[in-house]
Amino acid sequence: AAGVIQSPRHLIKEKRETATLKCYPIPRHDTVYWYQQGPGQDPQFLISFYEKMQSDKGSIPDRFSAQQFSDYHSELNMSSLELGDSALYFCASSYWTSGAAKNIQYFGAGTRLSVL
Amino acid sequence: GDSVTQMEGPVTLSEEAFLTINCTYTATGYPSLFWYVQYPGEGLQLLLKATKADDKGSNKGFEATYRKETTSFHLEKGSVQVSDSAVYFCALRWGYAGGTSYGKLTFGQGTILTVHP
């Protein structure tokens, strides 16, 4: 079965550079979530999109922006990178339907960003 | 605000031992509860879920029961295997976000499980 695809898997950047992370949801999924997982920490919610509109926002820095495109893939843009941005970034997707039990988030393998 | 607390880890067991990983939550109302597992170098995989009080989620020999009275969702397995070695995350999710999609997951701090032969 198709899964959530994230690219790139690994990314190395210098401080103050920019980075773009991409997420391709499971086909027919209409909702995308982004999470940030620092070393040894739990994933923290950044932002989500439903039908190409932002649906929720968490602790996402102003230096970060994201959007969901017409084909439902999403991109997380990160500017003025800082050392503290080094983390594993997960994308998850789900398909909205009535019933809480059916709205499950499926995660990609993540993009590991290292800021030097 | 909402939060999830997992037992402090890591947990080290011998193969075929009994596993319990405690999870409690703080929230108003009735969130959905989940256990996710993360194997080394991989993403998060849903292990099991429960969406209302007294529901029992189960998968691959793992079980957890949604206890509203104790706000808990402890993970158990009767006989662990070496292949169960991973990081386990307890998480909660509220309903709608923005009136349309279902909301974000709030995770506990994760518990590292290591199973020795």
Measured between alpha carbons, how far is B18 from A87 in angstroms, rounded to an integer? 33
Note whether B116 contacts A: Cβ–Cβ < 8 A. Answer: no
Q: Give chain A's residues under pLDDT 70.
A: 1, 98-102
User: For residue A100, what pLDDT is reported?
Assistant: 57
User: For residue A98, what pLDDT is reported?
Assistant: 65
Measured between alpha carbons, how far is B91 from A33 in angstroms, rounded to an integer? 15
User: For residue B115, what pLDDT is reported?
Assistant: 97
Report CB contact under 8 Å: B36, A107.
Answer: yes
Note whether B40 contacts A: Cβ–Cβ < 8 A. Answer: no
User: For residue B97, what pLDDT is reported?
Assistant: 47
Facing A56 at nearest CB: one of B36, B43, B104: B104
Report CB contact under 8 Å: A50, B43.
Answer: no
User: For residue B95, what pLDDT is reported?
Assistant: 61
B35 near B61, Cβ under 8 Å?
no
Over chain B (117 residues), the average pLDDT of each successive run of 10 is 85 96 88 92 91 93 96 97 96 65 82 95
Facing A109 at nearest CB: one of B42, B97, B101: B42
Facing B46 at nearest CB: one of A35, A58, A104: A104
Tell me how many residue pairs between chain A and chain B have CB atoms under 8 A apart: 77
Decide: residue B67, CB within 10 A, 0-12 exposed, 13-18 middle, 19+ buried.
Answer: middle
